[in-house]
Amino acid sequence: MSRFMGLARKFNCFYFNGDLHNCRPFLVGGIQVGLMQPRVVEAALRHPDVFHFDSGSGSIMLHPAFATYEERSAKINHVLSQWREQSLFVTLKGWRDECYEVRTGFADPPLMKMERAATCLFGIRQYGVEIMGHTRHPHLGVCLWLQRRSLSKPTWPGKWDSMVAGGLSVGHSVLDTALKEANEEASIPSHLLANLKAAGSVSFYFESERGLFPNTEFVYDLELPADFVPCNADGEVESFELVPVAQVMERILTPDFKTTSCPTALDFLIRHGFINSDNEPQLPELVELLHIPLHYLYSRHQQRPSQITNSNNTSASN
Amino acid sequence: MSRFMGLARKFNCFYFNGDLHNCRPFLVGGIQVGLMQPRVVEAALRHPDVFHFDSGSGSIMLHPAFATYEERSAKINHVLSQWREQSLFVTLKGWRDECYEVRTGFADPPLMKMERAATCLFGIRQYGVEIMGHTRHPHLGVCLWLQRRSLSKPTWPGKWDSMVAGGLSVGHSVLDTALKEANEEASIPSHLLANLKAAGSVSFYFESERGLFPNTEFVYDLELPADFVPCNADGEVESFELVPVAQVMERILTPDFKTTSCPTALDFLIRHGFINSDNEPQLPELVELLHIPLHYLYSRHQQRPSQITNSNNTSASN
């Protein structure tokens, strides 16, 4: 297996090695929006007024009596606040007072909102934005601007990350989030942001001690003039460094790089031809692992592909 | 569902609607390399000296006695030649005397080779190359060069297609194939080909009356000067047309465009920001459908994601 394929298995560790047998689907309004690990199921079922175990399907449902966005959001927030006070889950130490929408697909209407730090307890799909700031340096060739995350951040402190990155909070569009974060994290002036180009998205399924991360990142490319130097405005960045692409390829393989920001770095290196079929024999497989079918993992539509697999599982074991 | 999502379901019709219950895994050397429809299984089992039905696993195996690349290739070619003479399958009317490698993943050693026109009968993964020739036109903005396929081609005659496209035959690398086809199909001179940039790959699973197409296309971008006009050299192209991207977005939605060349067009439009989260609310899902996990459909590794689904299938039906 190539080094980049090893990395792709690392940021897709739940896709490959997750303890799925013991996880339970999490349903809101009769629709699966997440997946819960046993330790979270156990905690949730101590609140029978809010969570309901459906023995027929083996899933956990938010109580069907809660019919509106507001009611669902308030009820779950009440439970989460108790868990936070009880220090039940390490992820809730990073409580942000910032909410993410909970929905099936990105284009579907949100069913409720949830504190950002808690979404990984329920395996809720998270959406973010990353800006791949790059420069054609006269001597170093194409370079990416990387940020080193502040040492005081609750998650991934001191790790290397994309130049600009942020989660999609309630009430903010994708482009709004990109522009807001570009301003706060790197002080990029608006005349340079006019150059911002959408370049698709990546999807992967990561797991850490905090919980489950079925993540989608919207990707933007931003070519910057060689003399521009980013400057942090919100205290969330320790420093910035202009890194030639050859060094980026090495750095993403080290533990110093935020694992969940490696997909967008790989995607940039592939889209711009730095990683290609000549230097990466498993290129098509690597590209597939940057776009795993998250939308189908929680939906009935995945049924058919899994059937291909089941036939194979039987046969391949012979 | 958005128009582009509808298109993505069309070129992934087997992924979504394929008659999988009745298909059988096809194994060579104990490894799954394809999938066979009932009509092909029926024909194959009339050759018990070549094909073996394993009732335990429900799969069709190339006879285990054939241990080498050469022997396997010769034995299957013998059967295919008979089927061609008997006019058993419409796809064999397009016999090309050109072979594709049969392997599990792109980086794995080939297990045998097979006539290109027959690979769809066995659901063998096919690899191709497409060059997205484009120009920044002074008045029309970014335009893609499209080719109209020759009316005498055995497949998709007269349909619109990428500027340059070709399958990966035995003995040719990805880049070799791109350069060879660029020369034969569009007479692109080598000083312009120096600009060729690898840009990743797309994967999809299509089905037609000819058979099954689990296809991967390696994608190259080629920016061309505004005054360059391609010219066909091998008789396989009817004409070329320079088409503004807004018109490309419309044309790929019509039946005049080769369905299996729509993924690379969509990928180009997304990578270059013409299709983005502002005009395509289902962007992440669309991007996922341009990169479906073909490498895992035929492998044991898909097991875990399918389990997420199985839990959900049960629960979502309540």
Beta bridge partners of A143: A135, A244
Residue with tokens 């009732």: B55
B16, B60, B288: best mutation site toward chain A, by most A Cβ within 10 Å?
A: B288
Q: Which residue has the higher pLDDT, A314 or B44?
A: B44
Give residue A301's pLDDT. Answer: 29
Give residue B268's pLDDT. Answer: 98
Average pLDDT, rounded, for chain A: 92
Q: Which of B299, B309, B315 sits opposite A312 (nearest CB)?
A: B299
Q: Indicate if the pLDDT at residue B308 is higher than 90.
A: no
Q: Which residues of B274-293 are buried (b: 16+ CB within 10 A; e: fewer)?
A: bbbbeebebbbbbbbbbbbb
Q: Which residues does chain B have within 8 Å of residue A175's beta carbon, measured at their own beta carbons?
A: 277-278
Q: Which residues does chain B have within 8 Å of residue A284's beta carbon, measured at their own beta carbons?
A: 106, 127, 201, 203, 216, 218, 294-295
Give residue A311's pLDDT. Answer: 37
Q: pLDDT band at B20, cuts 50/70/90?
A: confident
How far apart are the CA of A211 and the nearest CA of chain B, in angstroms? 16
Average of per-residue pLDDT across A248-255: 98
B282 vs A107: CB contact, 8 Å cut-off? yes
Q: Which of A54, A288, A314 sits opposite B291 (nearest CB)?
A: A288
Paired tokens of A55: 């023995």
Provide CB contacts within 8 A for B302, sequence distance 6+: A305, A306, A308, A309, A312, B293, B296
B305 vs A307: CB contact, 8 Å cut-off? no
Give residue A57's pLDDT. Answer: 87
Domain topology for A126-294 = Nucleoside Triphosphate Pyrophosphohydrolase (3.90.79)
Average of per-residue pLDDT across A29-44: 96
Alpha carbons B216 and A284: distance in angstroms, whole number = 7
Give residue A20's pLDDT. Answer: 83
Give residue B284's pLDDT. Answer: 97
How far apart are the CA of A78 and the nearest CA of chain B, in angstroms? 26
A20 vs B199: CB contact, 8 Å cut-off? no
Average pLDDT, rounded, for chain B: 92
Q: Which residues does chain A have within 8 Å of residue B6's beta carbon, measured at their own beta carbons?
A: none
Do B18-124 and B126-294 show the same overall fold? no
Tell me the count of A-B CB pairs closer than 8 A: 254
How far apart are the CA of B257 and the nearest CA of chain A, in angstroms? 23
B285 vs A316: CB contact, 8 Å cut-off? no
Q: Indicate if the pLDDT at residue A221 is higher than 90.
A: yes
Alpha-carbon separation of residue A72 from A75, A305, B267, B274 (angstroms): 5, 33, 38, 37
Paired tokens of A7: 């990395």
How far apart are the CA of A28 and the nearest CA of chain B, in angstroms? 11
- Among A288-302, B19-33, B176-190, the range with the most confident prediction by mean pLDDT is B176-190
DSSP A15-46: HHH--GGG-EEEEETTEEEEEE-HHHHHHHTT
Q: Indicate if the pLDDT at residue A263 is higher than 50.
A: yes
Give residue A162's pLDDT. Answer: 98
Q: Which residues does chain A have within 8 Å of residue B59's beta carbon, measured at their own beta carbons?
A: 311, 314-315
Q: Indicate if the pLDDT at residue B89 is higher than 90.
A: yes
B284 vs A106: CB contact, 8 Å cut-off? yes
Give residue A316's pLDDT. Answer: 32
Domain locations in chain A?
18-124, 126-294
Give residue B302's pLDDT. Answer: 32
Give residue A1's pLDDT. Answer: 84
Output helix, strand, coil percentages for chain B, rounded to the nearest 5. 35, 30, 35
Give residue B305's pLDDT. Answer: 39
Q: Indicate if the pLDDT at residue A224 is higher than 80.
A: yes
B291 vs A296: CB contact, 8 Å cut-off? no
How far apart are the CA of B85 and the nearest CA of chain A, in angstroms? 31
B4, B296, B314: best mutation site toward chain A, by most A Cβ within 10 Å?
A: B296
Average of per-residue pLDDT across B179-199: 97
B35 vs A297: CB contact, 8 Å cut-off? no
Q: Which residues does chain A have within 8 Å of residue B31's beta carbon, measured at their own beta carbons?
A: 316
B204, B277, B301: best mutation site toward chain A, by most A Cβ within 10 Å?
A: B277
Closest CA to B174 of B133, B219, B213, B204: B219
Give residue B173's pLDDT. Answer: 94
Closest CA to B315 of A170, A23, A277, A98: A23
Give residue B299's pLDDT. Answer: 74
Beta strands in A67-196 (DSSP E): 99-102, 112-115, 126-137, 141-149, 160-162, 164-167
Using one digit for the tens of pLDDT, what is the confidence trace for A193-204?
A: 999 999 999 999
Q: Which residues does chain A have within 8 Å of residue B302's beta carbon, measured at their own beta carbons?
A: 305-306, 308-309, 312
Give residue B101's pLDDT. Answer: 96
Residue with tokens 């307890």: A121
Give residue B161's pLDDT. Answer: 98
B313 vs A296: CB contact, 8 Å cut-off? no
A4, A308, A313: best mutation site toward chain B, by most B Cβ within 10 Å?
A: A308
Q: Which residues does chain A have within 8 Å of residue B296's beta carbon, measured at their own beta carbons?
A: 288, 309
How far apart are the CA of A152 and the nearest CA of chain B, in angstroms? 31
A218, A306, A314: best mutation site toward chain B, by most B Cβ within 10 Å?
A: A306
Q: Which of A293, A300, A315 sits opposite B316 (nearest CB)?
A: A300
A312 vs B305: CB contact, 8 Å cut-off? no
B201 vs A287: CB contact, 8 Å cut-off? yes
Q: Indicate if the pLDDT at residue B219 is higher than 90.
A: yes
Using one digit for the tens of pLDDT, what is the confidence trace for A89-129?
A: 999 999 999 999 999 889 999 999 999 999 999 999 999 99
Using one digit for the tens of pLDDT, what is the confidence trace for B289-304?
A: 999 999 888 874 233 3
CATH for A18-124, among 3.30.750.160, 3.10.560.10, 3.40.50.300, 3.40.50.2000? Answer: 3.30.750.160
